Each structure stands twice: as C-alpha cells, then as structure tokens.
A and B are shown apart, each in its own frame.
Chain A
C-alpha cells in the first residue's frame, strides 16, 4: 500500500481548512466553495483507489483481511502507553472512508448551491473541511486515544456548524447542548479509555482486538462491583459511543442539532459523525465480544432496541421535517447498535456485525439523500414545518423522485438499498432473541409509516398558500441528489459480506425468505397506513390524536426527556450546585479570608488607642515596662 496517498486523504481537507481559515477575508466566496469541493474530490478519488487496492489488488483470497497500520509516535505517556498518530486500514475503516468521502463530497457540491449568498459562505466551507478532516482521522484511527482526539474534533466541528447561524438564539442553544451532552458522554469514553489503558497496558486497536491477546484475556484478573473492570471500561466507552450516536438517554442533542444548516445535518447528523458511536463499538468488537462473554454487548443490544423504538414513536408526531429525519436517524443508528449487540464473532454468527456495517453504509447514502432533499424543500418554501408544505411534486420533480427513492429505501422496500441491509439485521436479531426481533420489526413498520407521513405531507397534500411559487433547486443541488439516489438504489447489491465481517472472513449472506417477506410486508403496511392517514385526508390523524390523548401529548413532547434534563441541569446542577458553589466561595471561603483581614483591622482599631501619640502615655507604659523588666531581672533571675 502507498501510505503517502492514504495520508493525503485527511490532509487535503485540513489544508483546505487552514487556507480558508487564514485567508478568510481575502478569499472570494465562490472560490472557497470550489477549493473545498475540489479538495474533497481528490480525497474521494484517493479513497476509492485505496479501497480498490485494499479489497481487490491487495486482498488475499480465502484468508482473513489484514489490518494494515502505519503510524508515528505523537506523545509518550509511559514506557508502554503512548498516543500514536497514524492510519489503520481494515475493511470497516475503508468502508467508512468511502462513506465519509462520498457523502462529504456530495454535501460540498450541494452546499455550493444551498449556501449561496450566505455571509458566512467561506466560513461554512472551512468548517466543513475541518469536519471532514476530523472524521477521516477518526475513521483511520489506530488507537483509542487517536479516536478520542478526532472524536472531540468532530464534536467541535459539529458545535461550530450547528451554531453556524450564531445570531439565532435557538441555534446557539442547540450547539451548546450538542457539545455539552456529547462531552458528557465523552467523559465516560475518556474514563473508559483510562481504565482500558490501565488494565491492558495499551491503546492500540491491533493489540486490543486480538481475541487471543493478553489485553482481552486480562479481563478476568480484576473485578469491580460484580463485573470485570475491563467490562466497566467497555461500558463507559459504549456510553461515549452512545452519546455520539444519540442513543437513549443521551439522544436529546440530536433533534436540536437540526438548527444547523441542512447540508450539515445531512453530513454530520445523519451520515457520518453520528455513526461514529456505532463505528466505535464495531472497531472494538472483538473486545466487546470476548471480554466477560459479551456482557456489554447485551447492554448494547437492549439500549439499541429501546432507542430504536423510542425514536420511531417520537418521529411519528413531529411536525418539523428535519426533526422527523433526526429521530429517524436516531432510530436507524439504534438499529445498527442492536445488530452489533446481537452479533456473534465467527462465521455465520457474525451476521449482525456485517449487517450493522452494511446498514451503516446504506443508511449513510439514503439518509444523506433524505436530508439533502429536505434541504432542497426548505430552500424552496423557507420553512421546516409540514404545515407550510404540500403538493410540491409539481414544482420540484427531481427532489420528489429522489426523496421517494430514499423513503422507499429506508422503509425497506426491495430492491432498494435499505431492504438488503435491514433484512440482514432482522435475520441476525431473529436468530438471537425473539423479543428484540419483534421490536425491530415494529420499528421497521413505524419507519415506513413516519417516512411516508412526511412524504405525503410534503409532496402530495393540498398546497398551502405559498407566498411565492416554489421552484426546483439549481443544478448544483439536484445533481448530488441524483447521484445519492443512484447510490441508494444500487448500494444494496454490494456483496457486503465478502468485504466485511466480524472475523474478517468472507461471509455469505443469503436471504431468509419468510423473514424478508415479513419485513417487506411490515414496510408496506406502514406505507399503506401512511397513505390512508395522510394521503386520503380523511381526518384520521386528528381522530387518532384525540383517541390517544395523553399518549400523543407525551410523544409530541418527546416523553419530556428534555424537560428532565433541563430540570437536572438547571434546577439541580446550576441552582443547587453551581450557585451554592459560587456563593460558598464568595461568602464562606472568601469570607473566612477577608474575615481574617477584617478581624486584624478590628483588633488594630481596638488597640490603636494605645498608640495615642501622647508622650505621657508612652512614658507611663515605658515606666511600667521598665519596672516589670527590672523586677523580673532582679528578683527572678537572681534567685
């Protein structure tokens, strides 16, 4: 392999970021867009080349795929622990490389149209490049600390991009929320890293992931509250992943993050950054699987299943199309987590792992497409809300078709991409746990339902009174849509099992017909229901709302999770901890210090009278003092 080429892939966006950042005011907006897109095009081509070389030229048939590492020391901690910077090539990192490159390139192209005329155009591309760089770094990370470093960097790029419209208070709040919530999760991640590093003596993925290696085998050596310390570490790392991938209960930032520009939502909050959590678990999969017999994987599976259902239910009631998509993203990510959670390691048992990665890949394509379509729609009607849309199929044919393809894909209708990957997940779950399978199937149905709810709402419903006739977006925006639509259609036919599997061996995936039929049927049922509810305009939705009553209100308010958080942070942490801390400091700690000073002052006030300046008083004191001394010397010392 040519490592220079691989190194160039992340360095190009970094260079673009630096150039745009330093010459911020001197660069013309249009030029900056071109620089960004061009840079990324090179990166994308290189990624494709690398992928081709890895899978086809370099591949050794019949043997497990090798992990290729090229690294250099960045910082030394101790003799064994150190942070390396480098690139690690294995099937999943290359798959992610492709995902990031393609989606990012599409978003770059799309943004040139979407952001046109925005005063922060250059800044936008700079941040986008920064994000892409960080994401590449994350994907290619060779060790836990490198992944953490870029993890933080993508977090901050996300912060900057969500807060891109910084004069909007909601955007500012959302950015802050996103950062703080993920930061909180990262705290878990960091502690997890510390624990893993301490007990295994290494951060290197290569060493950590070796099923027979000492790091994994060391789990039995220590225990803490009934679980191996290493399991605690992995659980904490999973919390980090859950924060980024918006698993319940750390999901609250994701819907708010939709305050950012729509291309950002497509890139960061649908296709790439949010899958980092899934990627992290997949990256450490052998550890998760082998340490204490996969106890943490069960946690992963249940958290995944619950989040998937939870998010899907909320998605039904939301009226902001981007929020629906956000909850959908959360639900799909949870799906991937679920698949990882139920996966085994070797051979057929590793189907869940493969399915999860497969779904990650396809989901990135169609969810990015969905967001970009939504962006196109929002661009046309200047609103995020369903009530301001309707009948747009006449005005925006390309957007309409591409959206439909994406919606069908996510609903799991063959032969689109979503069907294949979702089917694999369902098979994997079915083989493991029936309860989880039912949940997963239900989620699939709900997914189809809410997707078509907004589809009908946007494109079919009666026109609202448009202030100006909406029109199709410019070519810069529609071309990426078309390309992504093509990917969404075709991605399912990639023989994914040949490239990616838990044990790196070729995995022959085959369609389990009854299960596939059940999945398709559920999807169709969801679509049909949506058609009944929202296409026919029978007033059914309102009736349902009335019938469900409280339940609907709860769902509409996202089960008040936000309020709980707000209560905890505002009322408890701020009011009960931070404010008392500040007060305590000013009054008690500082009060003590100032009090010492003041009491000195007061004492001196009191004894100031003695220093009256009257010679006679001094004389008296003098005489008295002399007397005391004389008496002391004469009658005490001479005794």
Chain B
C-alpha cells in the first residue's frame, strides 16, 4: 500500500464508520480517531519523505499511477514533494484541531463530521494529485461540502453566504476548467497524445501563444479561492456565517488550494504565460495586500476582521508566487502554512469567544483578558504572530517573501515589494485595535464575569495550532530546507 493513497482511504473509512454512529459521542470519537490517524500518517509522511529524498532525486516521490478514464487519458496519479508534504501536514493538523473545536457541535453531529471529513479528503487529494483532472475533481470535492457546512450549521445570513461562496467558487471552477482543458488540448507537442499529467505537461513546453491565453484563466480560477482582490468577497461573508470548525478548515486549508494550485499548475505548466501576465496580477495582489489590511481596520465583526486579514496575507502569497524567485516562493509556501495555522487558531478562538459572549462585535466586548485569560492570551499571541512578530511563523514567511521579492531585477517589482511591506504597519494597527478594545480595558458587562473557563478540548485544539506556529517561527530551517529543495524543478521550469 502506498502511503499517499492512505490519505484518501483513511478518511473514506472514517466516513463509512461515521455513517453507522448514532449520537454525538460516537460521531466525534470516530472523527477524532480518524483525524488522529491522519495526523500520525502525515507526520510519518514527513519523515518518510525526508528519508526517501536523501536517496531519490526525482521530482515527485511516492508516485502511483492508475488510469481511470482511458478515452481522455485521465489518470489517478499521485505523488508528493516537499511542498505537498507540508501542506498535507497542515491539513491533518487543522482537521484534528477542527474536530476538537467541534466537540460540542449541536445539531446533526454525524452529518457535520461526515461533511467535514469529505472536505478534508478533497483537500488531501488535491495536494497529492499529479493529474490535472483528478486534481480538479478533488478541488470540487472540497468545495461542495462547504456549501452544506455553511448552509446547515452556519449562523447569520447563512443561506446567502453559502450560496455566494459556492457560486463564486463554482464560477472560478468553470474558468479553471476552461484553463485546464486549454492546457490539455495544447499538450500534444511531442506527438504522444494529450495528457493531464502535470510533470509531463511541464516537460511538454506548451506553445507560448496558448500559454498566454490560458495562464490568466488558470490563475484566476485558482486565485479566486486564494482570495485574490477583487474576487475575495465570498470570503468575509462565508467566514462570518460558517461554524467555527468550518471557518478554520476553510481559511486554514481550503484557501491554500488557491496558492498551491497557482504554483503547481499555473506557474509550473505555463511559465511563459506567467511571465507575460505577472505584472497585472502583481499589481492586483500587492493592492490586495494593502487593501485587505485597510479594510480590516474598520471592521467590527471579529470574523470579518480576520477574513480581510486573510485577504491581505494570502495576497502576499500570490504576490510572492509571481516573483519567480526561490526565496519568495519558499516564503509563499511558508506563508501558506503559517497563515493556515494562524487563521485556524484565530477562528477557533473567535468561535470560543462567541460561544461565551454570544457576540462577535468587538465594540460590545472588553476586558476579556481578565475573564477568560487563556483564550485571550492566546488571542494576543495569535495576533502577534499574525502581525509578523519574530519567533512566530508569520515572520519567517514574510521575511522570505520580502527578501525574495526584493531580489527581483526589475525596479518596479521592488517598488511593489516596498508597497506590500508597508502592510505590516496596518496589520499591527488592526490587530492591536482588536486586542485593545476587546481583550484589554475594563470589563464591559457584568455577565462576562461569569464566563466559563476554557475546557480541555478547547485547550488541546489551541495547542495543536499554536505549537506549529511557534515551531516554524523558532526553527524555520528544517521546514524551509524541506520546501527549498522541492522548488528547484519549478524554478528551472520558469527560467
């Protein structure tokens, strides 16, 4: 059994078992077991990968290839490099934390966990796929449960948000599909027939004309889910309505599909198109970085603040990816990971706060540090991590991005870098504003004094997410080595 396929099989088994559960207790137990197994597997994968990498120099390791639709040459083709390995690790941790955070999910627990794990399966599949079409299938598999999760278990204007989110992502998928098919039908440069396989596609040297047409389609298709300005508006509403664990998975993992897809497909397969178009998307993403940060400053709903913060942070990922520089790419991947952990943590904390105070309006809260110290202190830490404090993962990522982007030979690109660097100040403003209003200051309502303390499962969830943030931030070398080596084939593809 190859260890990558297990990432699809284990969730499938978990889902199967979940079908037979009868109540919340059983459902969460099964889901937890499943996620723990996944986590163990992903940790094992990291070590197995490091061991294998030492002796194997091929681009992808642990590959497996089965054909599942002969007429179009569609394969179930999987493999992993350093980037997918880290992404899988991120996913498994966030899923596990999500299960912990949803420990007391109210209605339809079984269905909730099933949808959650289907989503996770889609994400795993996406990260390990080497076949464009299979990748697309998993992409859709990850998006669809989102609709149910928000529509059924959400709050506020959940139907609207769920609809908006799904429609925008579907529209993006449509664009993406056109791009993928465009790639597919231009892939026969060597006369061996069309192919969906990414590695073969990258080697095929798709004609430059076709690249220029299909790069924007592919890029936008992926970038919508990566919250590229101006296609980000599904994210604030979606986050605001989604239940906690879904927000976590959504912001923590699902939005990473965008950056990953851009990197793996748009840049790798269509490098010439990317060079041709990069300037416009750099402007958009650099603008998005600043814009998201400024928009976050004036929000009052915690989730909105965080959603806009995500727009800002993920704008940085796309920005870095377009810089065609190993350092910046390294930063982009680490930023993806770091943002994944951080927003997941943020949303988990927001969920806990909301559960206790029944409001997400920062103006209505105050002095929470006194009342729920553990949650509030973690919120401060998460905030500091988010504004790029050294010692946390965000700093490592951002510095890689900035240094890498600044290495670009074109002065305008460097100026764009300076512009996006300035977002760190605005980030500090909106983070500290929330901390100042919500956590510090006098306690605003008497009722808050009796808020329940943090429970063990919440504590575990928090720790699960906090430790990687600190881990990456304190010792980034192993992670960046893991990623850096895998970037090599990509940069060669581009230059």
Contacts and interface: CB of A to CB of B under 8 A. Distances in A.
- Are A and B in direct contact (Cβ within 8 Å)? yes
Interface of A: 73-78, 81, 83, 145, 148-150, 152-153, 156, 159, 163, 166-167, 169, 171-173, 175-176, 179-180, 183-184, 186-187, 190-191, 194-195, 197-198, 574, 577-579, 581-582, 584-585, 589-590, 592-594, 597
A163 B440 contact: yes
Given A77-B327, A150-B390, A590-B233, 15 more contacts: A75-B399, A76-B477, A149-B390, A153-B391, A166-B367, A167-B370, A183-B424, A194-B417, A578-B298, A581-B298, A582-B298, A589-B232, A590-B237, A593-B164, A593-B233
A166 B366 CA distance: 10
A194 B328 CA distance: 13
A194 B294 CA distance: 24
B111 interface: no
Contacts of B439: 166
A579 B299 CA distance: 9
Contacts of A75: 396, 399-400, 476-477, 480
A183 B425 contact: yes
Contacts of B369: 166
A176 to B, nearest CB: 5
Interface in B422-469: 422, 424-425, 428-429, 432-433, 435-436, 439-443
Interface stretch (B65-73, B79-87, B267-275, B403-411): B403-411
Contacts of A197: 403, 406
A81 B400 CA distance: 10
Contacts of B442: 167, 169
B402 interface: yes
B404 A77 contact: yes
B428 A578 contact: no
5 closest cross-chain pairs (CB), A and B? A149-B390, A166-B440, A590-B233, A578-B297, A581-B294
Contacts of A585: 233, 236, 291, 295, 308
Given A75-B480, A172-B436, A589-B233, A191 B421 contact: yes
A419 to B, nearest CB: 39
Contacts of A191: 418, 421
Contact of B421 (A81, A187, A577): A187
B396 A198 contact: no
B489 interface: no
A23 to B, nearest CB: 14
Contacts of A145: 399
A73 B291 contact: no
A594 B402 contact: no
Contacts of B425: 180, 183-184, 187
Interface string B249-292: 00000000000000000000000000000000000000000010
B432 A152 contact: no
B313 interface: no
B75 interface: no
Interface in B231-250: 231-234, 236-237
A582 B403 contact: no
13 contacts: A77-B399, A78-B326, A149-B390, A153-B391, A156-B389, A167-B443, A179-B428, A183-B428, A190-B421, A574-B298, A577-B294, A582-B295, A590-B237
Contacts of A176: 432-433, 435-436
B429 A180 contact: yes
A593 B295 contact: no
Contacts of A190: 402, 421, 424
Contacts of B326: 78
Interface string B133-169: 0000000000000000000000000000001100110
Contact of B477 (A74, A167, A582): A74
Contacts of B367: 166-167
B62 interface: no
Given A581-B294, A582-B299, A592-B230, A597 B480 contact: no
Interface string B358-398: 00000000010110000000000000100111110001100
Interface string B303-321: 0000010000000000000
A597 B439 CA distance: 38
Given A163-B440, A172-B441, A194-B406, A74 B476 contact: yes
A68 B422 CA distance: 35
Say whether chain A's binding surface is mostly helix, strand, loop, or mixed: helix
A585 B163 CA distance: 19
B484 interface: yes
Contacts of B399: 75, 77, 83, 145
A190 B423 CA distance: 12
A582 B312 CA distance: 13
Nearest to A591: B233
Contact of B441 (A169, A581, A584): A169
Contact of B230 (A78, A183, A589): A589
Contacts of B231: 593
Nearest to B388: A152
Contacts of B414: 198
Contacts of B236: 585, 590
A511 B327 CA distance: 54
Interface string B465-482: 000000000001100110
B370 A76 contact: no
Interface string B220-236: 00000000011111101
A185 to B, nearest CB: 9
A153 B476 CA distance: 17
B429 to A, nearest CB: 6
Contacts of B422: 187
A73 B295 contact: no
Contacts of A169: 441-442
A149 B327 CA distance: 18
A293 B369 CA distance: 52
Given A176-B432, A191-B418, A597 B167 contact: yes
Given A166-B369, A180-B428, A183-B425, A198 B407 contact: yes
A138 B237 CA distance: 43
Of A153, A166, A169, A197, most buried by chain B (CB within 10 Å of CB) is: A166
B412 to A, nearest CB: 13
Contacts of A159: 432
A153 B389 contact: yes
Nearest to B298: A582
A150 B390 CA distance: 7
Contacts of B164: 593-594, 597
Given A73-B477, A191-B421, A581 B291 contact: yes
Interface string B54-66: 0000000000000
Nearest to B390: A149
Of B168, B370, B390, B424, most buried by chain A (CB within 10 Å of CB) is: B390
Nearest to B233: A590
A173 B421 contact: no
